[in-house]
């Protein structure tokens, strides 16, 4: 009786821990096989990179403009207007866009668009036993399928961060114009407050988000099972785990960056 | 060049279909025909509560922590660490909690609905329902929408609580530059019940859109196991974009012209 209750309570926790461990192992394997020759994944890498680029650019554009116009743009502008200091909006956008919104909107879009597509693709291959067939042919699925996706998503998420920052700032410019203020002070406070530390922190964070997304989505796709419902369920679980992982990592990373680089929090 | 515009083209071509389908579901809920299957509605409520609440609260908790530390560091830089509550109150209630809720809703509930309905469609269960004389849209989609309307306002308010608690932890316990009382004073001063109501409306509009999109993609899935996976991925794209657009529109409508801050005259 006691043992069945304990099993019921601990079985989900145990399977979760097992999954996290498996993902760690997959990460290690991916890194090792990415570095060890031969390198047969060149064309697949380019294909995946272009695939993610093609799918993500429009959702990311719409989302970053919408988020930055609404959340930091309108709310902060409303607050600053009360003090007659709308010119400080540019300085606030360094914190809001470069440090926070651009990386995480980027991660959400890449996970929701490219990550789900990767899980659906790999899951379908797993269900049709194509992955087993590859292994029988002597082709390593990690090296030929996971490594190119891992590298491509890392690179594409990192580069999309710049794209997201540009369009995030566009949202801030719209918010400034809506309030009838000139753009000069916005740019002035933006550039005096921006620092290279902020930028590399943002890029590094975003690249790591891409890595998390790729590993979780590949793992979930390659372990899909149970027919039609299995693939859908795999996609479902993949995005849930990716979002939780991305935001948890975001918290740890931002806290570490802010605590170890106090100069970026100084208002100039 | 064709691939670059595949997504917007597909949105435009499916937009009318989705609107028509959503209108049908909304009509069935508002005309109360959905009450024929009230038992199924309650079962869906149970599925939502048991399956999704904890994950949604978890994500909102994490983003609440994030709001807390950013607010604490930002107000410290301004030389006013005692006012971290302003940042936390606005950031949590008005923006981040709705977004976090929308993200997790689309990830957990939206794609869950697509996977479930899609596999029913693939295994011909929906056709079987029709053959038995049951209106499948009413039975499968309208019940899910009503269930989400019954459960989610309460879940959302509890999620707001989780976000507030996380911000409190981050600002007062972790960074610790403002006393607990000082934080609470400013924090509660800068929000009032209408703000909460607006935030709930924002969250519920997102939730409705997510459930409707999920129902559309799941109900119209096709093409074997691969089709279900693709439909799930497609619904996620649309949901994420909708969440961001609704978030922006909500901010513009509710707080765009009136900051609702206890400052000045």
Please tell me the distance from the alpha carbon of residue A250 to that of residue A218, in angstroms, as a whole number.
21
Segments forming the whole domain that contains residue B52? 19-255
pLDDT tops 80 at residue A227: no
* Residue A64 CB neighbours (<10 A): 27
pLDDT tops 90 at residue B146: yes
**How close does chain B come to A37, measured CA to CA in Å?**
33
pLDDT score for B78: 84
Nearest to A82 among B90, B114, B264 (CB): B264
Is B156 among the domain residues?
yes
Is B13 among the domain residues?
no
Nearest to B229 among A54, A112, A231 (CB): A231
Is B204 among the domain residues?
yes
Q: Token digits for A187?
A: 């740019």
**How close does chain A come to B210, measured CA to CA in Å?**
14
* Residue B251 CB neighbours (<10 A): 24
Please tell me the distance from the alpha carbon of residue A113 to that of residue A235, in angstroms, as a whole number.
11
Q: Which of A11-15, B109-113, B141-145 is predicted least confidently?
A: A11-15
pTM: 0.93
Q: How many CB pairs under 8 A join A and B?
A: 196
pLDDT score for B208: 95
Task: Give the number of domains in chain B.
Answer: 1
**Which of A216, A249, A236 minimizes the C-alpha distance to B105?**
A236
Is B10 among the domain residues?
no
pLDDT score for A262: 85
pLDDT in tens, A21-78: 999 999 999 999 989 888 888 898 999 999 899 889 999 999 999 999 988 889 889 8
pLDDT tops 80 at residue B33: yes
CB of A71 within 8 Å of any CB in chain B?
A: yes
Please tell me the distance from the alpha carbon of residue B122 to that of residue B232, in angstroms, as a whole number.
13
Q: Token digits for A101?
A: 């919104």
Average pLDDT of chain A is 90
Q: Check: CB of residue B180 under 8 Å from CB of residue B141.
A: no
Under the banding of pLDDT at 50, 70 and 90, the label for residue B163 is very high
Nearest to A75 among B73, B114, B255 (CB): B255
Backbone angles phi, psi at B176, to 5 degrees: 70, 35
Under the banding of pLDDT at 50, 70 and 90, the label for residue B2 is low
Q: Which of A259-263, B18-22, B24-28, B214-218 is predicted least confidently?
A: A259-263
Under the banding of pLDDT at 50, 70 and 90, the label for residue A171 is very high
Please tell me the distance from the alpha carbon of residue B107 to that of residue A116, in angstroms, as a whole number.
10
Report ipTM (2 d.p.): 0.91
Which sequence spans correspond to the domains of chain A? 42-263
Q: Would you call A75 and B94 a contact, using CB atoms and an 8 Å cutoff?
A: yes
Give the helix/strand (H/E) hosting B88: helix B84-89
pLDDT tops 60 at residue B265: no
pLDDT score for A83: 84
Q: Check: CB of residue A221 under 8 Å from CB of residue A121.
A: yes
Q: Would you call B244 and A66 a contact, using CB atoms and an 8 Å cutoff?
A: yes
pLDDT in tens, A182-218: 999 999 999 998 989 999 999 999 999 999 999 999 9
Is B87 among the domain residues?
yes
Helices (H), A137-266: 141, 147-178, 184-193, 196-222, 227-260
Please tell me the distance from the alpha carbon of residue B194 to that of residue A165, in angstroms, as a whole number.
33
Angle B224-255/A42-68 helices, nearest 10 degrees? 30
pLDDT in tens, B53-95: 999 999 999 999 999 998 899 888 888 888 888 888 999 999 9
Please tell me the distance from the alpha carbon of residue B244 to that of residue B250, in angstroms, as a whole number.
10
Residues of A in contact with B83 (CB under 8 A): none
User: How many residues comprise chain A?
Assistant: 268
């Amino acid at each position: 009786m006691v043992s069945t209750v304990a099993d019921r309570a601990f079985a989900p926790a145990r399977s979760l821990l097992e999954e996290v461990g498996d993902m760690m192992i997959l990460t290690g394997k991916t890194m090792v096989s990415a570095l060890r020759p031969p390198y047969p994944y060149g064309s697949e890498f380019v294909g995946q990179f272009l695939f993610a680029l093609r799918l993500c650019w429009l959702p990311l554009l719409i989302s970053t403009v919408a988020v930055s116009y609404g959340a930091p743009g309108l709310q902060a502008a409303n607050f600053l207007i009360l003090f007659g200091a709308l010119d400080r909006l540019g300085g606030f956008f360094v914190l809001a866009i470069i440090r926070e919104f651009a990386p995480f909107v980027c991660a959400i879009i890449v996970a929701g668009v490219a990550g789900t597509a990767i899980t659906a693709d790999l899951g379908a291959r797993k269900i049709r036993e194509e992955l087993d067939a590859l292994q029988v042919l002597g082709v390593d699925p990690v090296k030929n399928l996971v490594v190119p996706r891992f590298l491509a998503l890392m690179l594409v998420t990192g580069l999309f961060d710049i794209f997201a920052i540009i369009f995030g700032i566009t949202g801030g410019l719209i918010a400034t114009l809506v309030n009838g203020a000139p753009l000069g002070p916005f740019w002035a406070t933006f550039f005096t407050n921006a620092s290279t530390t902020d930028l590399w922190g943002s890029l590094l964070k975003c690249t790591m988000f891409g890595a998390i997304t790729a590993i979780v989505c590949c793992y979930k796709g390659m372990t899909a099972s149970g027919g039609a419902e299995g693939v859908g369920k795999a996609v479902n679980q993949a995005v849930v785990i990716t979002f939780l992982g991305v935001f948890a990592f975001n918290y740890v990373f931002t806290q570490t960056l802010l605590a170890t680089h106090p100069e970026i929090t100084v208002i100039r | 060049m064709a691939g670059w515009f595949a997504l917007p083209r597909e949105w435009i071509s499916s937009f009318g279909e989705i609107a028509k389908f959503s209108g049908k579901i909304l009509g069935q809920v508002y005309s109360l025909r959905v009450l024929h299957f009230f038992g199924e509605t309650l079962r869906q409520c149970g599925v939502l509560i048991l399956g999704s609440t904890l994950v949604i609260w978890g994500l909102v908790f994490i983003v609440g922590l994030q709001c807390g530390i950013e607010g604490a560091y930002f107000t410290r830089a301004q030389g006013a660490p005692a006012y971290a509550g302003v940042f936390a109150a606005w950031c949590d209630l008005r923006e981040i909690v709705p977004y976090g809720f929308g993200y997790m809703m689309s990830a957990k509930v939206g794609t869950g609905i697509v996977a479930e309905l899609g596999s029913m469609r693939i295994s011909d269960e929906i056709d079987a329902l029709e053959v038995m004389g049951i209106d499948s849209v009413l039975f499968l989609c309208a019940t899910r929408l009503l269930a989400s309307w019954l459960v989610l306002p309460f879940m959302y308010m509890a999620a707001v609580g989780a976000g507030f608690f996380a911000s409190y932890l981050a600002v007062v316990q972790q960074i610790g530059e403002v006393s607990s009382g000082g934080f609470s004073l400013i924090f509660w001063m800068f929000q009032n019940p209408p703000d909460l109501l607006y935030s709930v409306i924002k969250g519920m509009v997102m939730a409705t859109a997510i459930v409707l999109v999920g129902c559309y993609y799941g109900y119209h899935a096709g093409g074997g196991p691969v089709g279900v996976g693709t439909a799930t991925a497609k619904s996620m794209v649309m949901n994420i974009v909708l969440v961001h657009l609704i978030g922006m529109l909500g901010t513009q409508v509710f707080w765009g012209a009136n900051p609702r801050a206890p400052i000045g005259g």
